[in-house]
Amino acid sequence: MERSIIHLDLDAFFVAVECKKEPKLKGLPLIVGGSNRRGVVAACSYEARRFGVHSAMPMYLALQLCPQARVISGDMEAYSRNSHLVTEIISEKAPAFEKASIDEFYVDATGMDRFFGTFKWALELKKKIQHETNLPISLAVSVNKLVSKVATGEFKPNAEKQIRAGEEKDFLAPLAIDKIPMIGKQTATFLYDMGVRTVATLRQMPLPFLVSAFGKNGISLWHKAHGQDDSPVVSHSEQKSISTESTFEHDTINVKRLKSILIAMVEKVAFQLREQKKLTACITVKIRYSNFDTETRQVHIPYTSSDHVILRVVQELFDKLYNRRMLIRLVGVRLSNLVQGSHQISLFDETEEDVNLYEAMDFIKHKHGADKLVRATTLDVSNRVRMEMNAFSGKIRKDLLKMMG
């Protein structure tokens, strides 16, 4: 049985939510993002895109391209609430679905053609979402996630497209190579330099050459160029929290050491948050005294996944919690109220420099290990640590220079 995979993507989601809140904004060039010129564009309306504005662009450049654009600060709480409404509608109707991000979903509707047609059912689902949420949404149906996602992006906004079984190669052939998920700027530039600009040309590249050029990713690239993707639709489930805690071998009252450990914990959980493309709105700190009394304190904050924001809150909570001056045997940090986000960090309060820095840091951590790039205050600089730092400093310096340009 041929698979039937539906890709649903809310059109300009952040902008659509803002227009839903304030209808008079419809039809205007809008930018959602940092309020100052050093900020970054989180999302923009299709009217602004006509001027060349796009997400992750520095705000000063976006305003140069479209000076008449209206800039709106982000409201992750409203975006999360509207995303949840769409999720509830899909969960009621779909046999199996995956929430890929705050505004993107996959539905496995395999076998439904026996009843009334997958595409017809998908259109009815889209109509229901639009009616109950007043949000624009695009969809595409094909035999796999890859082709459906590419088709949705190609025919947005308000896409309603079906790529029938056997038509995958013909559909992908004339498209630019950067339309394929996984092909980023560096890969695209490498291929452009060789004269490979369309998927049809990429498909003609021998598999051994792609493997030699891109390693194991070359195999995946070859399959994608041929419209092949057997990745399953992973059933939707919401992770409630990300947490970490440490029990000390010897109880301590050394506040400097305790805060150093908390910094390391924040780096760990914040990196996990960005790896999973999630944001948190609730931070909890836990301490356990030597007499086993356990106390916690939490606070709700605007959605974020930035180390420095979480760290500031954790330090404030610890200062309020630790008031007995007794020995401590355990400390812990928990991030909850998680939501999916299409950005690795909160783009509403960050500058372009912040975004570049976090991207570079996460690249290093992902490549060499999360413990290979840490704040100096978390290190016990022993001889062993110095040796490890020397071993990796050259590689990390090279990668940082590469990432930061």
CA separation, residue 66 to residues 14, 27, 52, 304, 346 (Å): 18, 14, 8, 27, 23
Greatest Cα-to-Cα distance within the chain, rounded to the nearest angstrom: 71
The terminus-to-terminus CA distance of the chain in angstroms comes to 48
CA angle 336, 340, 345 (to 5 degrees): 85
CA angle 387, 359, 225 (to 5 degrees): 110
DSSP-based helix, strand, coil % in the chain, nearest 5 = 45, 20, 30
| Contact criterion met (CB below 8 Å) for 244 and 201 | no
Residue 359's contacts (CB-CB under 8 Å, 6 or more residues apart) are 344, 403
Count of C-beta atoms within a 10 Å radius of residue 132: 12
Residue type present at position 255: V
DSSP 28: S
User: Could you tell me which of 68, 78, 24 has the C-alpha nearest to residue 44?
Assistant: 68
347 φ, ψ (degrees, to nearest 5): -95, 0
Residue type present at position 388: E
Report the DSSP beta bridge partners of residue 71.
31
DSSP 167: -
DSSP 351: B
104 is catalytic: yes
Residue tagged active-site, from 98, 104, 267, 350: 104
| Contact criterion met (CB below 8 Å) for 76 and 34 | no
Token output for 52: 């060349």
Report the DSSP beta bridge partners of residue 336.
241, 282
SS3 40: strand
CA distance 115 to 127: 19
Report the DSSP beta bridge partners of residue 289.
328
Active site residues: 104
